[in-house]
Amino acid sequence: MKMQEYIDEAEKALLHTYNRYQVVFDKGEGVYLYDIEGKKYLDFVSGIAVFALGYGNKEYNDALKAQIDRIIHTSNYYYNVPAIEAAKKLKEISGMDRVFFTNSGAEAVEGAVKAARKYAYLKDGSTDHEIIAMNHSFHGRTMGALSVTGNPHYREAFEPMIGNIRFADLNDFDSVLAQVNQKTCAIILETVQGEGGLYPADEAFLKKIRKLCDERDILMILDEIQCGMGRTGFMFAWQKYGVLPDIMTSAKALGCGVPVGAFLMTEKVGQNSLAAGDHGTTYGGNPLACTAICKVIEIFEKEKILDRVKESAAYLEEQLNKLVEEYDTIEMRRGAGLMQGLVCKEPVGGIITRAMDKGLVLINAGSNIIRFVPPLVITREHIDEMIGILRQSI
């Protein structure tokens, strides 16, 4: 079939919850995608910050193929070696103590919220504890994750939410302090807000939140689903500031394409929150997904991905800053590492569509922000190619 015929078939069969771009991708090689008609596209989306290693990494692919031939799934009634190895590696790169594997980022947030509430429940037996989240945040589409997502537009059609959620402003500690009371059990935030506009949390703000949580035995939950796994030049974005959370969520590039997530916690929380029977998942931590995690971490270390991100991110920032100076329609660049945004004075949909037509894949973060979350293996040459196409599209 031709591309439009496939698109027409999709619109007949799939639930229309996405406004998809009019392209059907068929394969990927390196940092490029190809549609079913053979057209080549430079990918600066990487499956929304998922394909950190790019497409067709032979070592990664071979590891998954070998595991498929061994065993894909057993359930959590039994141990499996890849899950044990993946948990060990995740502990090493994060400094956390306990791991629960999930299938997605939203599911990881669900588990983090449950762990926080169980931790508070075990202290006083009360079920009216509150969680403080940030305005403009995004934590997922499931009911619990949606409840702590700071955008009323996402929530309004699905009310009531889980309740006892208060919202404050990122990087405004006084706004957080104003929401804290005796019932507060957790404060959840993205270390770098993604969907909400590429806003990094300030070091001072994070450290004040950490101190507040320590003083009042409140759990600090950091959502590293999009900004984690090397995207900011650190394995996890909070590591730049040394602000260890009590609970952390991870997904996206954790498996580099295999659907997998995790929430991690300190030993203190692990020993005083979720116990046998409190939480579970059929697929979470299966051998295939955990093989992906193990191989991703191994490749990150062997190929010094963090060093490469720091180098390419500095160049990307430099080139995006030039665009800000060059075009009156662009207000500013904002972001961290290879998680950047251009804030524009007008909606960016037209720019993104024109870029797609010219062979460059971009997405937005809000109606007026172009988001750049490319594979972490991009080079200066790829950045130059992207900037060239973007100039034409603007």
Mean pLDDT of the chain: 97
Share above pLDDT 70 across residues of the chain, in percent, rounded to a whole number: 100
Give the span between the Cα atoms of 227 and 160, in whole angstroms: 29
Q: Chain-centre distance of CA 138, in angstroms?
A: 10
CATH fit for domain 71-302, picks 3.40.640.10, 3.40.50.80, 3.30.70.60, 1.20.1260.10: 3.40.640.10
> Which CATH superfamily groups domain 3-56+304-393?
Aspartate Aminotransferase, domain 1 (3.90.1150.10)
Number of residues in the chain? 394
Per-residue pLDDT of 40-61, as tens digits, reads 999 999 999 999 999 999 999 9
What average pLDDT score do residues 373-392 get? 98
Looking at the predicted structure, is the pLDDT value of residue 196 above 90?
Answer: no
pLDDT digits (tens, 9 = 90+) for 151-184: 999 999 999 999 999 999 999 999 999 999 999 9
* Average pLDDT estimate for 207-226: 98
Tokens at residue 348, please? Answer: 């960016």
- Fill in the DSSP letter of residue 150: B
252 within 8 A of 49, measured Cβ to Cβ = yes
The pLDDT assigned to 207 comes to: 98
Res. 1: pLDDT tops 90: no
Overall average pLDDT of the 96-125 stretch = 98
Count Cβ atoms within 10 A of the Cβ of residue 31 and give its class: 0-12 exposed, 13-18 middle, 19 or more buried: buried
User: Would you kindly state where each structural domain of the chain is located, as residue ranges?
Assistant: 3-56+304-393, 71-302
Check whether 124 has a pLDDT greater than 90. Answer: yes
Amino acid at 345: K
Tens-digit pLDDT profile for residues 234-275: 999 999 999 999 999 999 999 999 999 999 999 999 999 999
Between CA 143 and CA 147 the distance in angstroms is 6
Task: Compute the distance between CA of residue 45 and CA of residue 72 in angstroms, rounded to an integer.
Answer: 28
DSSP letters for 317-374? HHHHHHHHHH-TTEEEEEEETTEEEEEESS--HHHHHHHHHTTEE-EESSTTEEEE--
Go through 173-209 and write b for each residue having 16 or more CB atoms within 10 A of its CB, e for each that does not.
Answer: beebeebbeeebbbbbbbbbbbbbbbbbbeeebbebb
Amino acid type, 63? A
